[in-house]
Amino acid sequence: MSDRRRILLAMAGSSLLTVPPLRAQVLPGTGTGTGKGVSFPVADPREDPRRVYPLQLLQLVLEQSGREPRVEERYHYTQLRAMAELRQGRLDVTMVTRRDLPASEGLVVPIPLRRGLLGLRLLLCRAERAQTLSQLRDLSELKALGLGYGIDWTDRPVFERLGFKVVSASNYAGLFGMLQARRSDYLSRGLNEIWEELANGKLVGAGLAVVPGLGLRYPLDDYFVVRPDAPELAEALQLGLQNALRNGSYQRLFDEHFSQALRRAALHERRLLRVDGYPEDELVELAQQQLLAPLSGKLKKT
């Protein structure tokens, strides 16, 4: 059964779903866990509200797989550190945005965690520039402006290759300081992220605004990835996600976190510029199509 068919069945609640075996590569010196629960990078929600949903989803998925939903919370992990720790077996689970990792890097659970929401992007800029940016006609005009981006974000080289003028920040909070200081012109934020960020005055500061009438779309989402020597944990997470999709508990958690943000984004009133050349991901494309289906016929053409 193909990945595409498997996800279609999962999201439709089919009982025909089966969990395929995941290949593992046991590395010399890899660990077997701490015995304190499944270790996973988290953050203080006052500093990084993006980490709340993944933690709650992991707890739900563990429960739905029949395992105890205990998570050993690890703080102050960059993406690079998390992947390095995962490879060495010192971290059980983290998240990645690509499925094509070799088994020696980690075992990717092939179900997008946010229904493709992360690739539906709104633009954040200084308030006095918002109306000007809303008048941009196409992607080429946007590429000429400075896009603030995390230096360790895995798809930064993609945007550089596609001709975006990328201005890198060394950490998450620095993105907003860089924008305030006029070192960048805009940020591209997932619509699941941007409203909570704007509400966090300590993080974002004052004087920033969402660009009206405009957004981006490309196939981006997070996946759970498990340390290379733990195929049984990867299979448990896949089973738990499938069960949560079938019984509605995933949808309830998703709606709790993102339904308000989706309504507020008013995607049917925006031109969603597709980022051509961004690496394809059929599972994320499918998830986005299903997410946007209720808006079919209402979205503005680009």
Q: What local confidence, expressed as pLDDT, does residue 2 receive?
A: 54
Going residue by residue through the chain, which has 302 residues, state the pLDDT in tens, using 9 for 90 and above.
555 555 444 544 333 233 343 433 333 333 333 447 999 999 888 778 788 999 999 999 999 999 999 999 999 998 889 999 999 999 999 999 989 899 999 999 999 999 999 999 999 999 999 999 999 989 999 999 999 999 988 899 999 999 999 999 988 889 999 999 999 999 999 988 898 888 887 788 788 999 999 999 999 999 999 999 999 999 999 999 999 999 999 999 999 999 999 999 999 999 999 999 999 999 999 999 999 988 765 566 55
Q: What local confidence, expressed as pLDDT, does residue 31 receive?
A: 35
Nearest-angstrom CA–CA distance, 34 and 41: 14
Other residues' Cβ atoms within 10 Å of the Cβ of residue 116: 24
Q: Judge whether 222 and 94 are in contact, CB under 8 Å.
A: no
Residue 263 backbone dihedrals phi, psi, to 5 degrees: -65, -45
- The label of the residue with tokens 């996600």 reads 241
**Amino acid type, 87:** R
Q: What local confidence, expressed as pLDDT, does residue 296 receive?
A: 62
List C-alpha distances in Å: 116 to 41, 76, 86, 112, 223.
Answer: 21, 26, 24, 7, 10
Q: What local confidence, expressed as pLDDT, does residue 172 receive?
A: 87
Q: What is the pTM of this model?
A: 0.81
Q: Count CA atoms closer than 13 A to 40's CA, side-chain side.
A: 25
List C-alpha distances in Å: 99 to 105, 136, 185, 235.
Answer: 11, 33, 31, 15
Q: What local confidence, expressed as pLDDT, does residue 204 receive?
A: 83
Q: What local confidence, expressed as pLDDT, does residue 18 receive?
A: 34
- What DSSP element (H or E) covers 196? helix 194-199
Q: What local confidence, expressed as pLDDT, does residue 197 receive?
A: 87
